[in-house]
Structure 1
Amino acid sequence: MGCSALTFNSVPLPRAGTYHRSSKGGAHQRHKRSWVWNQFFVLEEYTGDEPLYVGKLHSDVDKGEGRVKYVLNGEGATSIFTIDENTGDIHATKRLDREEQPYYTLRAQARSRETNLPVEPESEFVIKVQDINDNEPKFLDGPYSARVPEMSPVGTSVVTVVATDADDPTYGNSARVVYSILEGQPYFSVEPKTDRLGTGRDTSPPVSSLFQWITPAHVYQSNDREHRGVVKTALSSMDREARDQYLLVIQAKDMVGQMGGLSGTTTVTVTLSDVNDNPPRFSRKNYQFSVPESLPVSTVVAKIRALDLDVGPNAEMEYKVTDGDSLGVFRIATDRDTQEGLITLQKGLDFETKSSYTLHVEASNRNVNLRFLSLDQFSDTATVRLNVENVDEPPVFTSPLTKMVISEAAKVGTTIGTVIAHDPDSTNSPIRYSIDRNTDLERFFNVDAGSGVITTAKPLDREVNAGHNITIFATESLDPLQVGKGVVLIKVTDINDNAPVFAIEYETYLCESARPGQVIETISAVDRDEPQSGHRFFFSLTAETAGNLNFTLRDNKDNTASVLTKRGGFQRHDQTVYRLPVLIMDSGSPALSSTNTLSIRVCDCESDGSPRSCGAEAAMLSAGLSTGALIAILACILTLLGKRPV
């Protein structure tokens, strides 16, 4: 059999080798042939009425006698591509879109019509869909927003826009994009030509193991379809205070911008951010305010404001008084919400002393940008005149708080002290004094209306009230509505007018087993007086009881005294209670004393000395009376009293 080959595009390709049979010893030897294959190309988006001719397959075994038929298999065979089995002509029957599928891999075969056996080995080939410019560039991330500082230098990058073109970037100019700015000039520009993003890669179909693939340059295909355009500033004098926002329209056009190319647009909203390029300025150089002299300390007496065309931190102010307030009467601070300078009163005003103040105030930016202005240019000064207004003020006491001292022994009408008030106004109205009786409900004191002399109106008792806090009114005679107030603290001093007494009500018991000289009680005293040197009490038995045979008293000289037994053998049935008068004297001048009686009960005690039973009941029990007998006696007593026992 002779050598054969399938050829494509109706043009036989040069043979790189052939198969042939040779006779050596009657045997045939077959040598391998190498074939060179080209691609078929079909134009995408073909809109003709007839099937589109793609190319031709032919085998040199086919002598035109109709003994060979051609068969097509693979992607799109019969559904998209058809082959004339007699002639090998291939047609595309459908409209193709390269962006959906860029190539199709098929297999071709020549068979004998008689035997249906292959006359050629099956070969693989590719039909490549050839691109046309049917996709416009698209900004998938648009519209864009960007910020750039005002006064930025020419060429400052603002934003990078990206256009995507779905056409083949490796074939022709369909995907070669250039940028232009349709709106936004002369303030901004865009680089007209940009490099593609990423790195291209070969997406050509795989090579058949039977064929050597030759790649023409125009067939190289890249997945790189995105193109960057950098928007930059074109003027350095863009001032946010004049205009703070720009709307740009950016166009991307393929075919390198040539006529017939497709284009897409996007918008870029550019906002100028603020920089501190404007100094603060007072709207006027002189301010004048009236300030009543009666305003309390910490009152805001004036507000001034320096204006700054900048915004945010660039417009924040600092104010200070540079001159005119050597006494520190005023203070200026910044209101962080309004950026005003608030002048606050630090000390009380007095029209009669000083009727006006002239302050020099400086306003400066907190955040200084020396790129645009010098340090001195970031401040401004103004003069603030504060006129103090005279106010009809109420009388003022020489001392708003006066302390006085009076003895509790003072007689009614005794002078305690004098208060003095005056009218601070130039009218110098006469003053009348009175006591606020809400602070002296029991009317212990009087004040002379004309002189302000305070006297006692009732006897005083330090032990009841050691101090009095009274309010004195000072009223202008010419204007009774003007009333001043003063406070007088009156301390009542002590005299020795209270005798000492027992500190507590003692419950003293005496065991029947007590021995002579045993301490049965320790007593102490209290005194409502408060001598400056402290209390000193003296204890003794009264003269009537000093010689008794039962008890004695020992002064411990520490404001306590001990009661001791003189004998032993105390019995409850003899006497259940003893009463011992005790004389207590203080150390006052004159000294005061009192007699206090100590009751001592005789008790039956435990071995440790604690009382077990005391008093009359215990005595009767010890005399042999049973509990039943005691109950009978009690019933008789109740009967005699006309009461039925319970």
Structure 2
Amino acid sequence: MRTWAMFLLWVCAWAARSAHARALPEGTLGEEGTGRRRPEGGEETLRRSRRGWMWKQFFLQEEYTGTDYQYIGKLHSDMDRGDGTVMYVLTGEGAGTIFVIDATSGDLHATRSLDREEKASYILRAQAVDKRNGVPLEPETEFIVKLHDINDNEPKFEKEVYMASVPERSHIGTSVTQVTAHDADDEMFGMSAKLVYSISQGHPYFSVEPNTGIIRTALGPSDMDREQREQYQVVIEAKDMAGQRGGLTGITTVNITLTDVNDNPPQFSQSVYQFSVPELAPAGAGAVAGRVRALDADIGRNAEMDYTVVGGDGLDAFDIATDGRTQEGVLTVKKVLDYERKKSYTLQLQVRNTHPDPRYVSVDSKDLAMVRISVEDVDEPPRFERPSYVLEVKEDAAVGTTVSSVSAADPDILKGVVSRYTIDRHTDVDRIFNVHSGNGSIFLQKPLDREDLAWHNISVIAAEFNNPQQTSRVPVYIRVLDVNDNAPTLASVYETFVCENGKAGQKIQTITAVDPDEPPGGHRFYFSLAPESSVRANFSVRDNDDNTASILTRRTGFRRTQQSAHAVAVVISDATFPMRSSTGTLTVRVCTCDHSGNMEACGAEALGGAAGLSTGALVAILLCILILLLIVVLFAAMKRQKKKEPLIMSKEDVRDNVVSYNDEGGGEEDTQAFDIGALRHPEAMEECSKLRRDILPSEPLYAPAVTRRAAAPARDDGDVRDFISQRVQEHDGSPAAPPYDSLATYAYEGSGSVAESLSSLGSASSNGAHDYNYLSEWGPRFRKLADMYGGDDDDWDS
């Protein structure tokens, strides 16, 4: 029916256009096109060609299910006279694939079913051309093909499962969450996309608004109790066609959780608790006496609670705190318990929420419980009367004097006695003190010296009578009181001078004193010249009343040549009873001074040196002398024991040492000049001498000077060369033997050898003339030796 309506509409439009075109004067422009006309003067003018259609858009039903092509409409041009010369051409979106046109008739069809949700419209262009030559008969026209929507899509929610929460005890109508669904159908055409929400599961606890999808609570506060039920599952439907019959439906699930509010006060699980604690249990947070538990149906922050002790006779002995992890009340001991004094305690506990909600639970909501705690008896060590003792004793107290006493008792037995007292010797290594094992009296075993040690810190141990393993100890601090047992002395070693031209009454030195004692009122020293002093006519001592004194001259003029130094004896006394005094000596040297009193020269006599040196200085000097003597003795001993240089040295070292003398040796018989045997290995020396006797020639290798004129008989030098070469190889291969080539040179030298001396001084004739014929005779042999020893021929010739 829709196709026939479109066709009738097209026919009416075509008729209207034709009538309008005929009404136009010939040669004028109409709405459909332009053309040209020829006026009477033969002038050619433009005129419009009228089209056979004015369609802006065509409509097509989506989801077509027929087997034939779906007819859309017909395109026709006024230029088409029905003679088959006009051809219609279609271009644009889907032309030739989705949309086809009959080139002759202009009928437009869709080749397949289309989905509006995939694409709602298509833009196409059509044009009429001359079939014979393809020349366009009119301009191209654009039109739209729109798809009519049908309800072929069900609503879809944004999420398949929604998660939501709402506080328990909420009022009716409290908003929980909102769900949203979408329909792909055209919401501008019909009711295909008009959605309505409804609840299919979740009654009677929740409801949903039909138009907005907002989910709200449907029951009152008393019915929405998390402690009764915490989780709810609600199913929401969305239906198109405004919920009418035949519409499509989509569903989603909403999981709703009731969140907790503090609507339950805590309550103790028991009304009375029983615990026991041993006496002497350590006090503090770690001394747990027991745990109590209160129950709260709420969770999280709403279940946090505070425990307090509100009554009973153990307020000062016990405390309670909350375990943040388990929310239990932890009872702890505040002080050390004593079974002999109190055997049990009663406590009243209170628990309440830390964060109460006044909307549901009163701030004063609380619960109470009773706790009974029994103290268990244990075997206790002895207990001293005091935690520590501070005692005093004078430093001049005699050995055996009782300083004071300590006392301990066994607390398990009323006024029970201990077996024995002892002193911890780790605290009194020198064993200065001791204690009576029965009554705890502390007495002296050695004399005291406050100046050596003013405080003694010891520990006294008390052991139980019935169980000696049960012990306790107490610190005892003993202060040594000062007595005046030390005389004051000069503060330092004083040595001053007086000028030869000094005046009477002149101050030459100020002295002071020291005293290791510590009188309560401080030191007061008195100074005076010793009555037996031999310098009373020369010097005097003036007490300055401030623990210092001045040394003054009593006459004018001193002579260094007569006496170069004076010893002034000064008596120093203290003011503490009993009074102590000592005599100190001050050395005054006589010096030459200028007019201003500046010292120029002084005599260095033994008196000044001795007076100026203290005992410690003399001891130090003696020690230095002893150390120097010891160093000298050790140096001498080490020098005697110094190891000799090794016998075996390298071939180069021996050769260098021998050649560097640049003179002749004394030969084997010259025992005064050098002992050649010391350079030889004993075995090598013995073997060498043995071999030399075996090859000793009938006449000396080096003949005496008197016989050198006679021609020596011809002999083979090969034996000597072979012998020396063999000896060199043997000695080079033995690490214990000296280099043979260097030592062998001594075997043929010296005044006592068969060859005698090679020096020209020993070869002179009786008339003083020297015969050098032996050079021509022995020259070749020296060159052979030079070749063997690596020397230079020129050296051997010379």
**Corresponding residue of 2:483:** 495
**Corresponding residue for residue 597 of structure 1:** 585
CA distance in 1, matches of 2:248, 2:368: 62
CA shift in 2, pair 1:64/1:568, >3 Å: farther
Q: CA deviation at 1:320?
A: 1.3
- Does 2:406 match 1:388? no
Cα deviation, residue 590, structure 1: 1.8
Out of 448, 459, 462, the residue aligned to residue 471 of structure 1 is: 459
SS in 1 for 2:280: coil
- Letter of the 2:20 partner, please give it: T
Partner of 1:423: 410
Distance 1:468 1:57, change over 3 A: same
Tell me, in whole angstroms, the C-alpha distance in 2 between the residues paired with 1:164 and 1:605. Answer: 125
Alignment pair present for 1:127 and 2:145: yes
Aligned residues: 577
Conserved 8 A contact 1:15-1:36: no
Partners in 2 of 1:139 and 1:512 — Cα distance? 127
CA distance in 2, matches of 1:331, 1:290: 15
Say if 2:535 and 2:567, in contact at 8 Å, map to a contact too. no
Structure 2 CA distance for partners of 1:113 and 1:463, relative to 1, 3 Å = closer
- Check whether the contact 2:273–2:371 (CA below 8 A) recurs between aligned residues: yes
Match of 1:275 in 2: 261
Where does residue 152 of structure 1 map in the other structure?
170
Report whether the alignment pairs 1:138 with 2:153. no
Residues 1:442 and 2:426 are matched in the alignment = no
Alignment of 1:22-61 (within 5 A): 28-30=27-29, 32=31, 37=55, 39-59=57-77
Mapped partners of 2:167, 2:309: distance in 1: 34
Query: In structure 2, what residue type is equivalent to 1:393?
Result: E
Q: State how far apart, in whole Å, the 2-side matches of 1:401 and 1:80 are.
A: 112
**Amino acid in the other structure paired with 2:317:** V
Call closer, same or farther: CA 1:102–1:574 in 2, change over 3 Å: farther
SS at match of 1:11: helix
Shift of the 572–249 alpha-carbon distance from structure 1 to 2, 3 Å rule, reads farther
The alpha-carbon deviation at position 86 of structure 1 amounts to 2.6
Q: 1:50: how far off?
A: 2.6
Mapped partners of 1:141, 1:512: distance in 2:
123
CA deviation after TM superposition for structure 1 residue 110, in Å: 4.5
Q: Aligned with 1:354: secondary structure?
A: coil
What is the distance in 1 between the residues matched to 2:476 and 2:206? 81
**Among candidates 191, 208, 233, match of residue 217 of structure 2:** 233
Residue range with higher mean Cα deviation, 356-365 or 14-23: 14-23
* Residue aligning to 1:78: 96
Distance 1:21 1:240, change over 3 A: closer
> Could you say if the C-alpha distance between residues 516 and 182 of structure 1 is closer, same or farther in structure 2, counting changes exceeding 3 Å?
farther
Q: State how far apart, in whole Å, the 2-side matches of 1:54 and 1:155 are.
A: 54
**Offset from partner CA, 1:67-108 (integer Å, 9 cap, x none):** 554443433333322222332211012442322321122334
| Amino acid across the alignment from 2:217 | T
Alpha-carbon separation, structure 1, partners of 2:11 and 2:584:
152
Q: Where do 1:579-598 residues align within 5 Å?
A: 579-598=567-586
Alpha-carbon displacement from aligned partner over 1:153-185 (angstroms, at most 9, x marks no partner): 333222222323322222233333333445545
Change (3 A) 1:362 1:67: same
Larger Rg: 2
> How much has 1:484 moved relative to structure 2?
2.9
In structure 1, what residue type is equivalent to 2:277? V
Query: Is this contact kept in 2: 1:400–1:485, CA < 8 A?
Result: no
CA distance in structure 1 between the aligned counterparts of 2:551 and 2:251, rounded to whole angstroms: 118
Given that 2:529 and 2:536 are in contact with CA atoms closer than 8 Å, whether structure 1 keeps it comes out as no
Q: 1:563 to 1:263 in 2, by over 3 A?
A: farther
- Contact 2:7–2:73 (8 Å) recurs in 1: no
Amino acid at match of 2:493: E
The verdict on how the C-alpha distance between 1:246 and 1:612 changes in structure 2, with shifts beyond 3 A counting, is farther
Q: What amino acid is aligned across from residue 584 of structure 1 in structure 2? A: I
Runs of at least 5 residues in structure 1 that lack an aligned partner in the other structure: 1-5, 195-228, 619-642
**Deviation readout 1:551-592 (Å, 9 max, x if unpaired):** 332211101112234456657666554332221111121211
Query: Identical aligned pairs, as a percentage?
Result: 53
Partner residue in 1 for 2:278: 292
Whole-angstrom distance in 2 between the partners of 1:77 and 1:611: 135
Q: For structure 1, which segment, 129-138 or 470-479, has the greater mean C-alpha deviation from structure 2 after superposition?
A: 129-138
Aligned to 1:18: 20
Tell me if structure 1 keeps the 8 A contact 2:279–2:375. Answer: yes
Is the CA contact 1:395–1:476 (under 8 Å) kept in the aligned structure 2?
yes
Q: Is the 8 A contact 2:24 2:30 kept in 1?
A: no
Asked if 1:409 corresponds to 2:411, the answer is no
- Aligned AA for 1:50? D
Displacement of 1:330: 2.0
TM-score, normalising length from structure 1? Answer: 0.79
Structure 2 spans left out of the alignment, 5+ residues? 1-5, 34-52, 607-631, 633-798
Instruction: Choose between structure 1 and 2 for higher RCO, CA contacts under 8 A separated by at least 6 residues.
Output: 1
Give yes or no for the alignment of 1:172 onto 2:156: no
CA contact under 8 A between 2:564 and 2:605: conserved in structure 1?
no
- Identify the residue that residue 632 of structure 1 maps to in structure 2: none
Q: CA RMSD in A?
A: 3.5
Q: Distance in 1 between matches of 2:256 and 2:593?
A: 108
Change (3 A) 1:604 1:131: farther
> Deviations 1:506-541 (Å, cap 9, x if unpaired)?
353556676554433222111111111111001112
2:547 to 533, 553, 559: 559
Partner residue, 1:541? 529
**CA, structure 1 residues 252+564, in 2 after alignment: closer, same or farther (shift >3 Å)?**
farther
Structure 1 residue 149 displacement after superposition: 1.7
- Contact map agreement 2:159 2:252 (CA 8 A) in 1: no
2:285 equivalent to 1:302? no
Describe the SS at the equivalent of 2:604. helix
| Counterpart-to-counterpart distance in 1, 2:295 and 2:559 | 106
CA change 1:515–1:178 in 2 (3 A) is: farther
Of 195, 198, 208, the residue aligned with 1:190 is: 208
Q: Please give the secondary structure, in 1, of the residue aligned with 2:68.
A: coil
Question: Contact conserved, 1:21 with 1:28, CA < 8 A, in 2?
Answer: no
Distance in 2 separating the partners of 1:50 and 1:595:
150
Specify whether residues 430 and 30 from structure 1 end up closer, same or farther in structure 2 by C-alpha distance, changes over 3 A only. Answer: closer
The 1:610–1:330 alpha-carbon spacing in structure 2 relative to 1, beyond 3 Å, is farther
Provide the residue aligned with 1:215 in structure 2. Answer: none
CA distance in 2, matches of 1:54, 1:612: 145
Is 1:91 the equivalent of 2:102? no
Q: Which of the two has greater helix per residue?
A: 2
CA distance in 2, matches of 1:314, 1:608: 99
User: Larger deviation: 459-468 or 594-603?
Assistant: 594-603
Which residue type is aligned with residue 164 of structure 1? H
Equivalent residues of 2:314, 2:345 under 8 A apart? no
| Superposition map of 1:624-643 within 5 A | none
Q: Deviations over 1:219-270 (max 9, x none)?
A: xxxxxxxxxx323334453433344334444444444455655444444333
* Match 2:473 to one of 482, 485, 499: 485
Of residues 316-325 and 505-514 in structure 1, the stretch that sits farther from structure 2 once superposed is 505-514
